[in-house]
Amino acid sequence: MSFKRIICFVLAVIFCLNTSLAIADTKEDQLKNKQNEISNAQSKIKQNEKEQKNVLSQISSLDSSINTTELQISQAQKEIADLEEDIKNTEEDIRISQAEYDKNYELRKNRMVAYYKNSTISLEESLTKIEDEPDRMYLEKALERVVEYDTELINELERQRIALEEKKKKLERQNTELAQLKADLEVKLASLNQTKSQRESYLSVLENDHDALSKSIDAMKQEADRLTAEIRAAQEAARKANKTSSTYVGGKMTWPLPGSYTITSPFGNRLHPILKVYKLHTGVDIAGNNCNGKPVVAAADGTVIVAKYSTSYGNYVVIDHGGGITTLYAHSSKLEVSVGQQVKAGQEIMKVGTTGYSTGPHLHFEVRENGTYVDPIGKGYIKA
């Protein structure tokens, strides 16, 4: 082999080696880049999960704050109503007392005017001019009675004047207290509106995150599935404690939200307005007629086996009606019953609210047969 050929061969080998090394370096860089992408994606997923938990935690905290403020507002409104009634009674009392005082004052004034006009000499001088002893004694007695009457009238006028002044001061204090209560109420209402606005903002964040929203809805479905086992366990425990019947104690159920009859979301698979995918809705949503804060009633006689808060359902209650039939009521602003309590059909068990995963005040109502949810309307338990 000539020297030139040897040189060419060596150069060709070196070129191939350099090319192979360059390709290897490129592949290695690509692998590192892909691993970095995977790591970044995993970090984002973890961060997203933390943000979701934080948002749900904030919503839960705000729900608690809203419940507390609404209770304070309800108490303040009752105090205002009671005080307004007291003020009304005080004003009527003042009106009657003033009329009585004016009447007695006018009487006293007229007597004094009449005495002044009709008397040319004093009463004492009149007595000295009467010579007949019996007549003078009679006149003395009459004058004593007149003086006693006038004195009592003056004293009564003074008592009435003092009492009237006290009542007017009481009215002034009541009006001051009323003004303060109303001012405090305005502060509480503003705080409530601000808290609700914050809640809506957090909920909006959750809804605008497609993945977070999907997970939240799936979580609600999973919680509904989890409740199946919980309800069955609670039913079994209640039966062992002889608190529930082995046969259904109801019949045709009472409408759970009197005065509001709009079904805003029926039972079954529904196209979610944001996700544009079908999700199972485990009950019916009832709203309308400004239902926020209105009473929710038991659909049938039974025993309360669950009464608590969850992130998805908010404040909710489950009632065992016997025979494997239970009803669930969710998103309440305030629970009015506790576990183990016996309730009658039509008895108030909670207030309508928007706690948990809810975009507005409504009642989420479920009927379950042996822990499994069924269509409350389709199965004839309630009639829309």
pLDDT at 257 over 60: yes
As a whole number of Å, the CA-based R_g of the chain is 42
pLDDT at 299 over 90: yes
Count H helices and E strands in the chain, helices first. 4, 13
Provide the 10 A C-beta neighbour count for residue 206.
19
Q: Rounded distance, CA 18 to CA 344, Å?
A: 88
> Alpha-carbon torsion 281, 284, 287, 293, what sign?
negative
What does the pLDDT read at residue 155? 80
When comparing pLDDT for 122 and 287, which is higher? 287
pLDDT tens readout for residues 151-205 = 777 787 778 788 878 878 888 888 888 888 888 888 888 887 887 777 777 666 6
CA distances for 129 relative to 74, 103, 136, 147, angstroms: 77, 35, 9, 20
Q: Which residues contact 282 (CB under 8 A, 6 or more apart)?
A: 221, 224, 267, 366, 373
Q: Where are the domains of the chain?
A: 61-207, 224-374
Q: Could you tell me what percent of the chain has a pLDDT over 70? A: 60
Instruction: For residue 269, give the nearest of 280, 260, 259, 277 by alpha carbon.
Output: 280
* Amino acid type, 186: E
pLDDT at 103 over 50: yes
pLDDT tens readout for residues 203-237 = 666 656 656 556 656 666 666 666 666 666 666 66
Full DSSP string of 48-88: HHHHHHHHHHHHHHHHHHHHHHHHHHHHHHHHHHHHHHHHH
Instruction: For residue 328, give the nearest of 290, 292, 356 by alpha carbon.
Output: 356
116-120, 266-270, 320-324 — most confident range: 320-324
In CATH terms, 61-207 corresponds, of 1.10.3470, 1.10.287, 1.10.10, 1.10.8, to 1.10.287
What does the pLDDT read at residue 305? 93
Assigned CATH for 224-374: 2.70.70.10
248-261 average pLDDT score: 79
Provide the 10 A C-beta neighbour count for residue 175.
14
125-131 average pLDDT score: 62
The answer to whether 356 and 315 are in contact (CB under 8 A) is: yes
Q: What is the pTM of this model?
A: 0.50
